[in-house]
């Protein structure tokens, strides 16, 4: 039986890396980077404080969709984000079973350029 808190190993990397990168996507996509980053930080922290593994999985799917649908110029940020999120799905298997929507999300991330990490600096 997995401890209900076991999924909490997942968010810290996302909390540290994803908001500024998604803000970069917003910057080249015409959105407001500051708003994107602030809202995302708030949402991730809310999940850390009040959420669970299922809610985290939902969040990952939504983030994957945003990354996959991005059509701006910052392909580098898109690829790095796709890699981070794809790693999240791979790691999440320790605490939840992936479902069809997760596999769809992974396919989207692969198309967005997700690659396995090659070194210590992803």
**Using the rule CB under 8 A, is 45 a contact of another protein?**
yes
Nearer to another protein, 66 or 77 (CB): 77
CA distance 4 to 26: 34
Residues 59-78 binding another protein (CB under 8 A) are 76
* Residue 6 makes contact with another protein by CB under 8 A: yes
34 is a contact residue toward another protein (CB under 8 A): no
Between CA 68 and CA 79 the distance in angstroms is 9
Identify which range of 28-36, 60-68, 97-105, 112-120 contacts another protein by CB under 8 A.
112-120
Measured from the CB atom, the residue of 9 and 69 that comes closer to another protein is 9
Distance CA 102, CA 25 (A): 22
Q: What is the closest distance, in whole angstroms, from the C-beta atom of residue 99 to another protein in the complex?
A: 23
Which residues contact another protein by CB under 8 A? 3, 5-6, 8-13, 15-17, 20-21, 24, 45-46, 48-50, 76, 79-80, 83, 113, 115, 118-122
């Amino acid at each position: 039986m997995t401890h209900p808190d076991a999924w909490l190993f997942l968010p810290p990397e996302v909390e540290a890396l994803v908001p500024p990168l998604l803000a970069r996507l917003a910057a080249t996509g015409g959105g407001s980077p500051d708003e994107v980053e602030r809202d995302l930080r708030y949402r991730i922290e809310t999940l850390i404080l009040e959420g669970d593994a299922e809610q985290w999985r939902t969040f990952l799917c939504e983030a994957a969709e945003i990354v996959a649908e991005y059509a701006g110029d910052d392909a580098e940020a898109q690829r790095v984000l796709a890699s981070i999120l794809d790693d999240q799905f791979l790691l999440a298997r320790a605490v939840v079973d992936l479902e069809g929507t997760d596999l769809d999300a992974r396919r989207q991330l692969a198309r967005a350029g997700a690659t396995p990490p090659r070194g210590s600096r992803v």
